[in-house]
Structure 1
Amino acid sequence: MAHPLIGQPAPDFTLKASTSDMITLSSFKGQKNVVLVFYPLDFSPVCSMQLPEYSGRRDDFAQFDTVVFGINRDSVYTHKAWAAEFGIELPLLADIKCDVAKAYGVYIEEKGHSGRAVFLIDKKGIVRDAHIENATSEFTLHADDLLKKIEQLAAMV
């Protein structure tokens, strides 16, 4: 079943990043594709595989005019510590109240955090793909697969 946001304008937000910048999604419109990587918690086992893998491929994403952001409910301070320990060079966004996770339909109420999900937003600000894992312990959309989706998006333009 397709996610209801596919083909729709991406819900906009402004959040503080681990880089100390304020990141506003709509500021990338007309310039970059954006990948939003929702993940449950910093320092958790699966997240500590997924985000470093994506981070290690930053140059590959950049070749397709694409920026990648990790996003969860942890604070900027936790993000900075985790990024330093695991060598993550992607900006990690602090969605402390999970408002953005809720807007994207990936908030898990009973757990108090987001699920594991990846959204691909094109340069026009439209959600073009959503990959939602069945369980937070799953990580099936590896960097190679995500890059293939971005390459297909680039070919459509």
Structure 2
Amino acid sequence: MNFGVREKGPDSKTEKQLKPVKKTSKLNANYRSDTEGVDDHRENILFEELVMRKIFFWIILLVVAVPVTAVEVGEPAPEFSLQASDGKSYTLSDFKDKQAVVIAWYPKAFTKGCTIECKSLAENGHLIREYDVTYFMASTDELEDNKKFADAQKADFPLLSDPSGAVAEAYGVKMPVLNMAKRVTFYIGKDGNILKVDEDIKPATSAEDMARTLGELGVAKK
């Protein structure tokens, strides 16, 4: 006779055996949920890195792909009228039929390469001044930044400021996306035409190289 006490039988053993299975399944489900969350997080990070790499790649491609200069040797140099670090404004056409002009474009004031280039021109400018020429450095920096830069490097020549980048663009040296100029030097004759476009600038010997180039181009000495 059964008084409410359940007899142990095959069915009850099966129930006891199934209980751990149910708990294990629950743990496995939680584990899968946690690992899936980690995987999703990793996928998001990898996706973001991939997007940033593509953006960086296209920026570099634009910088490299665009032609370095918009003017060629023998063509008239684009006109400009810009303020300089010495407090004056300079207009290219004012030098026509009077003196040769050199414009050394540089990317950014106080950066390493530009500082080295400016120091070279300041410390060895006497080599350039042997020739009948006016020479400038030029950038898209604000005027006040170029004044500070010129003072810091003791530059005894004008640094032109083209903050809008319009003149740099006219010369074909403005970098795409960035409002910065490439490091390119233009030699302009008395007739206002381009004598040479130098894209291979060595900042440490800028003054010596500029003086040598002026001699090679036949620019008269003073």
1:110 alignment counterpart: 177
Who wins on radius of gyration, i.e. which is larger?
Answer: 2
Which SS does the other structure have where 2:102 is aligned? strand
Q: Choose the corresponding residue for 2:187, options 110, 120, 137.
A: 120
| % identity of equivalent residues | 27
Any conservation in 1 of the 2:68–2:173 contact (CA below 8 Å)? no
Residue deviations 1:77-99, cap 9 Å, x none?
Answer: 11111111111122011101111
Pairwise CA RMSD: 2.3
Tell me, yes or no, if structure 1 residue 50 matches structure 2 residue 117: yes
Cα shift at 1:25? 0.8
2:149 alignment counterpart: 82
**Structure 1: segments with no counterpart, 5+ residues:** none
Of structures 1 and 2, the one with the larger relative CO (CA 8 A, separation 6+) is: 1
Any conservation in 1 of the 2:117–2:204 contact (CA below 8 Å)? no
Cα shift at 1:55? 2.2
Any conservation in 2 of the 1:118–1:132 contact (CA below 8 Å)? yes
2:207 alignment counterpart: 143
Q: Choose the corresponding residue for 2:94, options 3, 9, 27.
A: 27
Name the one with the larger helix percent: 2
Any conservation in 2 of the 1:64–1:154 contact (CA below 8 Å)? no
Cα shift at 1:63? 1.5
Bigger mean CA deviation after superposition, 142-151 or 100-109: 142-151
CA spacing shift, 1:130–1:140, aligned 2, 3 Å: farther
CA spacing shift, 1:140–1:110, aligned 2, 3 Å: farther
CA spacing shift, 1:33–1:84, aligned 2, 3 Å: same
Name the one with the larger strand percent: 1
Q: Which amino acid aligns with 2:210?
A: L
**Structure 2: segments with no counterpart, 5+ residues:** 1-66
**TM-score normalized by structure 2?**
0.63
CA spacing shift, 1:114–1:18, aligned 2, 3 Å: same
Distance (Å, rounded) in 2 between the aligned partners of 1:20 and 1:40: 21
Distance (Å, rounded) in 1 between the aligned partners of 2:120 and 2:182: 18
Q: Paired residues, what number?
A: 153
**TM-score normalized by structure 1?**
0.88
1:73 alignment counterpart: 140
Residue deviations 1:124-152, cap 9 Å, x none?
Answer: 11111111249xxx648632222111012
